[in-house]
Amino acid sequence: MSALRAEWTKLRTAGDLGRLLLLAVALTAAVGCGTAEAVKCPDTGCGRDAVKLALTGVTVGQAVVAVLAVLAVSGEYGTGMIRTTLTAMPDRMTVFAAKATVLAAVVLASGTVAVLASLLGGRLLLPGSGFTEAHGYAPLSLADGPTLRAAAGSVLYLALVALLGLGVATAVRDAATAIGIVLGLLYVFPVVIGVVQDPEWQRHLQQVSPMTAGLAVQATVHVRELPIGPWAGLGVLAAWAAAALLAGGLLLRGRDA
């Protein structure tokens, strides 16, 4: 418990990290609402996924979450505070687990606010864009199973992105390098997928891409046509995050601070 309290205190008192959390929430909700306002559905059965449109902001907010997670670790290395932390708490794995737990809890809480705000914005704005019951779209509601899964999955997605960033930052220590690696993993895969011409290779890349596979959890229509199922896709991102945490934890334990 002392390790958790210490990590919570450090995260809570770091002003930049708090502002980044607010920015992540604001960007996620704003981009989702902007998309809901901009995309139109003029006819019945226009084929768009209204829930995924409302949650589009997650693709932007995740970048801020990744940066926040990296800075939560690299900031300590940059100031030398990590030596004080490890002197006060010699068990490095306890410190690492506490960092991961506190970061995940904070991102889960802020991610919940961001996702709920996005869905509320979608519920209010999408009917004005043609996503009406007359066109085959019921108002967005968490009482709908696929919508609830997309919402909960999006919150978990953001938390997993944070853990991915934490693991990479612990492994490489340098903030710029860690941010580049994490954002590259998230955003470069889709670019490569767009360049590849072979449909089978495209499908395989989509199945292993952290972002493409992970965001499959947001889909509520044409789910059987996805390269990977919603929860299986989120599991791919979880595997990336677990690998990063394992690498970071082993390097933290085996080298000098």
Alpha helices (H) in the chain, listed in sequence order: 2-13, 15-38, 50-54, 58-79, 81-88, 92-125, 145-172, 175-195, 199-208, 210-214, 230-254
- Residue range 223-241, pLDDT digits in tens: 989 999 999 999 999 999 9
Place 15 in a pLDDT band, splitting at 50, 70 and 90: low
Report the chain's terminal Cα–Cα distance, integer Å.
23
Chain segment 29-42, per-residue pLDDT in tens: 999 999 999 999 88
Residues 6 or more apart in contact with residue 187 via CB below 8 angstroms: 63, 211
Q: What pLDDT, on the 0 to 100 scale, is given for residue 141?
A: 94
Q: Is the pLDDT of residue 98 over 80?
A: yes
Q: What is the pLDDT of residues 122-169, one digit of tens each?
A: 999 999 999 988 888 899 999 999 999 999 999 999 999 999 999 999
Is pLDDT at 257 greater than 60 in this prediction?
Answer: no
pLDDT at position 36, please?
93
| pLDDT computed for residue 8 by the predictor | 75
Top-confidence residue, 88 or 26: 26
Q: Which of 85, 108, 112, 111 is nearest to 98 (CA)?
A: 85
The pLDDT value recorded for residue 3 is 74
Per domain, the residue ranges of the chain are 2-254
pLDDT digits (tens, 9 = 90+) for 41-92: 888 768 899 999 999 999 999 999 999 999 888 877 766 677 777 777 777 8
Token reading at 51:
């829930």
pLDDT, the chain, mean: 90
Burial 134-162 (b: 16+ CB within 10 A, else e): ebebeebeeeeeebebbbebbbbbbbbbb
